[in-house]
Amino acid sequence: MVETLRSLRDEYASESLCLVLGEDAFAGLDHWQQWRQLPELAHLVVMSRPGHAPEFSGPVGELVASRRVEDTAELRRRAAGALLFCPVTALAISATAIRAMLGRGQSPRYLLPDAVLESIRQQGLYG
C-alpha cells in the first residue's frame, strides 16, 4: 500500500489523496507493513457503521487522537495527514458473491454502480 501511495503521491504531488478503509481493516492498521507512513502520503477515510463508536487503543488509538478531523473540508485543505470517519449504511453485499454472480452470467445490477458494472463488462472480468 505504501509503495502504491508513494507512486500516486509522485504523480499528484499537491493533490489531496484519500485511502478509504473499512473500520475492521483500520482497527488492525498497526499490523500493516510501513503503516505509519500512510498518513504522510494520503488522508485516511474510515467507513464506519452509523451509531457505532468503536474504541481504538494502542498505536491506532494514538493515530485517531492525533489526526482525526470531523469535516470533509479538511481533506481538501491539505494533501495528506487527516483521518476522517465516514458513516455508511451497511449492506449485505459480498464481493465474492458478486463475482460468483458474474461468473454464472447473472447480473449484479443494483449491487454495483452502473459505471463499475460497465467497466467489468468492457474488460470481460469475472466471466
Which candidate, 62, 14, 65, 73, places its Cα nearest to that of 42?
A: 14
Taking all residues of the chain, what is their mean pLDDT, rounded to a whole number? 92
Parallel, antiparallel, or unpaired for β 18-22 and 68-69? unpaired
Q: Where exactly are the structural domains of the chain?
A: 2-87, 91-127
Mean pLDDT value of segment 27-52: 92
H or E element in which residue 18 lies: strand 18-22
pTM: 0.72
Topology of the domain comprising 2-87: Rossmann fold (3.40.50)
Over residues 109-127, the pLDDT tens digits come to 888 889 999 999 899 888 7
pLDDT band at 2 (very low <50, low <70, confident <90, very high): very high
